[in-house]
Chain A
Amino acid sequence: MKQFQGRVVTPGTVTAEAVVSTEGFNTLASFQMALQFGDKEVKCGDQNNKDLHGKPMIGKALCLPQTIGSTTGGLVLYCACAMEKNPACMLFANHIDSLAAAGAILADVWVDGVSMPVVDSLGDEFLAYVKDGMKITVGENGLVTVED
């Protein structure tokens, strides 16, 4: 078990299984097909993401360095939350980027009854340590516990 201290972007606590992208997470490419065509598991559709392509994202602890790509990224994330197709939480090794921040904040302010805690600045060590399937617990104040 290892703990990492990050910064809370949007609050909340949750426990979920990790899915890990070691490279930039392209939000539009990852979600577009799954949201449009009703994929219940919300499998990652980004063909360029060797870590995540084809893996389910709904209800998972999505661990990533940052998001990349189209500026629709934030609204896609907002839609995923509004449709309850979102990851359980998003955990960023780096400082959050403007698109992911927008999506998380839009969901926090404008969607009732959906919680997707977002923590950033967890550091490179976090991303090097966490692996798919590990148990993640996001606590208050941005403390993230990773268990094998």
Chain B
Amino acid sequence: MILTKEQEAILNGQQGETMAKVMKTLVMYGDAFEAEKLVPITSKYNHLVTSFGLKVMSPVYDLMQQLLEAGVASGQKFSVDPRPVDKNVPANFLQRFVFNNFMYTKQDFYEEQLKKLGLMNDQAFTCTCYMDQVGNKPQKGEYLSWAESSAVVYANSVLGARCNRNSGIIDIMGSIVGYVPYFGLLTDEGRKATWIVKVETTKKPEAQLLGSAIGMKVMEDVPYVVGLDKWIGTELNDSACSYLKDFGAATASNGAVGLYHIANLTPEAVEQGESIIAEGAKVYVIDDAELERVQNEYPVMWKNPDAQPKLCFVGCPHLSLEQLKDWTVKLEESLKANGVSKVTIPTVFTAAPKVLEAFNATEYAERLKATGVITSYICPLMYMNNPLCKGMPVITSSNKLRTYTTARYYTDGELLAMITKGGK
């Protein structure tokens, strides 16, 4: 890699040993991908993936402490993934004891570290930092040092920013030196599609199921999706963006997709059309049968597959304002149709603190509360990431949550029917 004089000086220790190690990490990272240079980060804010003060992650906090003690702060303010615990979310005594006294004992300590390192504000905890209400929305063409797979794939695909699937810790190291290695999804070549995905379903495909199918097929390649605009339109409005948020999260967690193009919809697909497809791209056709096959192959991890669900999570990744409103209306209609006044399974909707603040200022907030649904800012994945939840029959329409926990996946429609009627 060719470094500028300034970068070389940092690598050689002119700004101290810790900065030299940070630079060495980024140079090795770039070298692993034959990057020729480092390029300046051009986004206003960064986004970090590590938000949880898990006791077991002490090597991360030790490293952050090294950075702080060396006086090397992030050059950018940043948002960070959701907090792991919220007292409003149903949990039994034992779960609360484990959360507070065993698992997340480093939460306060780590949040203090984040503040010192450059956290945007106390409410900047969400995986959907790009929501208007949160305010970390990069511009097209900007270079980012973000982590969080669902945010990276959204920033690349929907916003047209340029970011690799950086790991936690690498994210802040980029911000500290102000540069990221130029490879992969930062380059024009790396953004070309190597798969053509033809959507040939007879109805609007479930976003999280379609994303899952594509992620598992293309792994880390870039898909160009044809036929989806028939179902979600050709305008990046709130509805399409919410759909793509959930779709992308599933491509990234069930596979390793960092960028997708949707024909006639996402910015680079609109600008470049089919010229963005690389020569020799493979083809994957998705019809109703293929989606059914994918869903049927998800393993059921409940101890008793016929158990009555005890908890339902919606909002991984965090819900948008529009989704919160949509769900409110659908819940009201379904409850009314079933002659029920409140949800029959404890249900938690998760969204960014700032999105919840905006939602709570609307008339929908009281209406949702009346259905019995609880809203929270937590990360459902972090909530379920313990053996006590392993035996708990949790349902979700999040493919990401299904992937990492024992939560069982159902489509939004199936979930709505279950929580407004009860039963399996």
User: Residues of A with Cβ closer than 8 Å to B?
Assistant: 9, 24, 26, 28-29, 32-33, 35-37, 47-48, 65-75, 78-79, 82-83, 95-99, 101-103, 105-106, 108-111
Contacts and interface: CB of A to CB of B under 8 A. Distances in A.
Contacts of B28: 105, 108-109
Contact of B170 (A48, A74, A96): A74
Contact of A75 (B60, B152, B165): B60
Interface in B399-419: 403-404, 406
B103 interface: yes
B389 to A, nearest CB: 11
Nearest to A107: B59
Interface in B182-241: 184, 215, 219-220
Contacts of A65: 219
Interface stretch (B49-57, B323-331, B344-352): B49-57
B294 to A, nearest CB: 12
Interface in B54-71: 54, 56-57, 59-60, 62-63
B25 interface: yes
B59 A98 contact: no
B212 to A, nearest CB: 10
Given A35-B56, A70-B49, A109-B28, A75 B168 contact: yes
Contacts of A29: 403-404
B30 to A, nearest CB: 10
B29 interface: yes
B165 A47 contact: no
Given A69-B252, A83-B59, 20 more contacts: A26-B403, A32-B404, A36-B56, A37-B387, A47-B406, A66-B220, A68-B215, A69-B403, A71-B167, A71-B168, A71-B171, A75-B167, A78-B60, A79-B57, A79-B60, A97-B256, A98-B167, A106-B169, A109-B28, A110-B63
A102 to B, nearest CB: 3
Given A28-B404, A37-B387, A68-B255, A82 B166 contact: no
Given A29-B403, A97-B256, A105 B29 contact: yes
11 contacts: A29-B403, A69-B252, A74-B166, A74-B169, A75-B49, A78-B169, A82-B62, A97-B165, A97-B220, A98-B165, A106-B169
A106 B170 CA distance: 8
Contacts of B25: 105-106, 109-110
A95 B403 CA distance: 24
Contacts of A36: 54, 56, 103, 385-386
B168 A109 contact: no
Contacts of B21: 109-110
A101 B57 contact: no
Given A68-B219, A79-B57, A102 B29 contact: yes
Contacts of A67: 256
Identify the 8 closest CB pairs spanning chains A and B, nearest first: A74-B167, A102-B167, A82-B59, A75-B168, A71-B147, A68-B256, A101-B32, A102-B170
Contacts of B24: 109
B149 interface: yes
B97 interface: no
Contacts of A109: 21, 24-25, 28
Contact of A99 (B165, B254, B406): B165
Nearest to A106: B169
